[in-house]
Amino acid sequence: EPEVTQTPSHQVTQMGQEVILRCVPISNHLYFYWYRQILGQKVEFLVSFYNNEISEKSEIFDDQFSVERPDGSNFTLKIRSTKLEDSAMYFCASSQDRGRGGYTFGSGTRLTVV
C-alpha cells in the first residue's frame, strides 16, 4: 500500500536554529498538508499546498514557516528560527482530492527544541 514517508523521525535542535522537515507524499496525490500535534493537545492544521502553491494556511503558520516542493517528489516544511513552543510532532499528509477518501498521513517527525 502506498505510504507517505517522513524524515527524520526525531529531530533535536537548539532554539533559534533553522530546521527542515521532509516528506515524500504518495506519487499520484495532488494535495499536500502539514499538521502538528503538541504533546497532549489536538492535531492542528498548519498549511495545505496544491499546484505548487499554498492554498490555505492557519494562524499558526506565520512568517517563520515555509513550505516547498523542490523537485516533484519531496515536500518540505522549514521553520526558520525555532522556538521552544515549536516542539511537537509534525505530520505530513497527502490526498488525491479534498475530502472523500481522507488523507494519508506519514508517521510524523518529533521535533524537540531545546
Q: How far is the CB of 14 from other proteins (least distance, A)?
A: 24
The 3-state secondary structure of 81-107 reads: CCCHHHCEEEEEEEECCCCCCCCEECC
Query: In the range 45-104, which residues lie near other proteins by CB under 8 A?
Result: 45, 48, 56, 58, 91, 93, 98-104
* Residue with smaller CB distance to other proteins, 14 or 53: 53
Distance CA 10, CA 74 (A): 18
**In what side-by-side order are the strands of the sheet with 5-7?**
5-7, 19-24, 75-79, 65-68
25 is an interface residue for other proteins by CB under 8 A: no
By CB under 8 A, name the one of 35, 49, 61, 75 that touches other proteins. 35
The CA–CA distances, whole Å, from 37 to 20, 43, 101 equal: 17, 4, 22
| Cα first-last separation, the chain | 36
User: Which of 13-21, 22-30, 35-43, 72-80 is the region at the interface with other proteins (rule: CB under 8 A)?
Assistant: 35-43
User: Which of 17-25, 68-76, 78-86, 106-114 is the region at the interface with other proteins (rule: CB under 8 A)?
Assistant: 106-114
Name residue, grid cell 515555509.
66
Binding-residue total with other proteins (CB under 8 A): 25
| Interface residues toward other proteins, by CB under 8 A | 4, 6, 33, 35, 41-45, 48, 56, 58, 91, 93, 98-108
